[in-house]
Amino acid sequence: MSNRNSISRRRFVKTGVLTAATVAGALSSCTVENQRWNKEEPFPVFKGNNYTNENGEAGLLFSQVGYEFSFPVRVILKLPEKNNLPESSVCKLIPFSKEKDYTTPCIYWGEKWGSHWWVAEFKEIDESGEWAVEVRNGGDVLWCDTGLKVEKDILWDSSIEWSSVDMLERRRHFTKVGAGWQDAGTLWVESPAQSAMIIALEELLEISPQRFEQSFIQRIYTQIMVGCDYLVMTQEKARELGFPPGAMSHDLLGHEKDILPQDVMKAVIALAKATQLLSDSFGEKKQKYEEVARLSFQWLLDKAKPMGDYGYARIQRGLAEDAKIPKDEYPTRDLLLMCRAVLEMRKFECPGAEELAFWYAKQVMDRQRSRENSESGFYGHFYEYKSMQHSEPSWTHGIVGSEFGTDMGGIYPNYLLPLIELLKDYPDHDDAKKWENTLRDFTYGYLIPACKQNPFYLVPQGIFGDEGAICFCGTFHGTNAIYGYTAALALELNKLFREPELKTIAYSNLQWLAGLNAGITSKNIRQGCVVFSTDIPEGIALPASMICGTGKRWAGTWFQTRGVICNGFSTGKQFKYDIKPEKKNDGPFSFTDEDWIPHSAGWLTGLMRL
């Protein structure tokens, strides 16, 4: 694989240290040839009338990695008051060398999360290059920054190696058990994180093999086996501890006695896909993975039971603490996982697998919210349980007290890929039209209108009754994985419905991770960060890539392996359920800095489909 942005490890270490310490240091002294701004000004400071940093935060926001051909270049402005920006203001792109000049109006979007937002969209850029960004009103320069790039495949070329094999090759050394990867900011090697990354690597081989040289494919094979070997060990450990054959330990570093059905579902998917996708030269490994997958799949069918309210955070659903959680129902997200696992095991010609996949799909469809039972105007999303009335959130992962239970590993947001696969593989099935209608209602009743509730097209955490769409409240920490997975789902749905807004949603959710986001501030760093720190003046919001070591500015992560992604924006303290999911609390008010490899897995899963 070719990578124009490859740098030496020595240079990476130096760059990483400097960037983490001075992410805002020499950031934006707009130094294009036709210098128009103060060279000594290290930050993009808004200079509009009636504004001081005491009024609130101001941000000139754009992708810190870059923009792709065939997608608009969006620049978003954030200000505390609508009257801070004159109506006639325009956004200009000033070329760094021989590129063209571009100008577009700043269109007021509205108020959200306690700020006012404008969008400047450039639709006609058809050249590679780099520009300074300038906001003007007449002859007055109100704002400026540098480093906006447009280039073919810039997101892929800037991150694909680092967010996949390179990062994992570094993290495998710290697990202490000879397999798997250190998956978080400190020494965690949890089963669901391993499975999520394995599945992302496997999909690279399924969807984008033509983009890699053979040497890179071999590196992918190696890391798939590093992860799968760990999953094999979790099954062996559970058996050693006396659990039934096929059960799997949550990890091998302190939670060996935690046996979670949803962990096993993900592991079955990962192991089954590995058996199908690894080269025949790894015959013994493939045979072992198939044996382990079959045994664990049988455990899921015969022995596994829902975990009820064990490890279940009611606050992140907006439920009362005395709400009764059913003990005999799986959350909808687990029904989708099980459907996906069955579809993988079907390829081993498991008896009854097809009918079982159809059955799980029907259980999911039965939980879809109808137009007649819309929630704050939205429909097509899903109840979490058949016997309860609240909707399932996009993300549930977290530890509740010391309980590793129902919420653990809940990273896939309304992930309807199994229904899409069924529709492709069985277009003449009696339920095919129902699958399509389920996907259509989800797309047009929920996904598109919910993402349009904010200027970034960001998928919300969910719909919370009369509170409507909530993006950041209630969770254990930031939820960056859901944005990559939502991008993947939107792009798959676009293949069905040919809906341009789905491509916009996919691209925008990826760009949120790449820097076109609400911006890091002194306040949200203080509120959420445990390790990451940098100096940002009060009142300035700086766009930052959340992919470690990638982009003009990047922020976050504890264990700074290039390409890993941090937890991201939230509302409260990291690792605490401290903010209720209510509209008055919602906003990107904390920045949670711990890294976790499922965020990178989500990024890869969306990116490969772009």
Task: Name the CA radius of gyration of the chain, rounded.
Answer: 24
In angstroms, rounded to a whole number, what is the distance separating the alpha carbons of residues 66 and 151? 7
Closest CA relative to residue 277, chosen from 168, 181, 203, 353: 203
Task: Give the pLDDT confidence of 290-329 residue by residue, as tens digits.
Answer: 999 999 999 999 999 999 999 999 999 999 999 999 999 9
Q: What is the pLDDT of residue 41?
A: 67
Domains of the chain: 53-152 (2.60.40.10), 155-609 (1.50.10.10)
In angstroms, rounded to a whole number, what is the distance separating the alpha carbons of residues 250 and 252? 7
Residue 109: count of CB within 10 angstroms of its CB: 15
Task: Give the pLDDT confidence of 513-552 residue by residue, as tens digits.
Answer: 999 999 999 999 999 999 999 999 999 999 999 999 999 9
**Model pTM greater than 0.75?**
yes
Contact between residue 405 and residue 260 where contact means Cβ atoms under 8 Å apart: yes
For the chain, residues with pLDDT lower than 70 are 1-41
Q: What is the pLDDT of residue 42?
A: 79
DSSP 317-336: GT--TTPPPPSS---HHHHH
3-state secondary structure (DSSP) of residue 239? helix
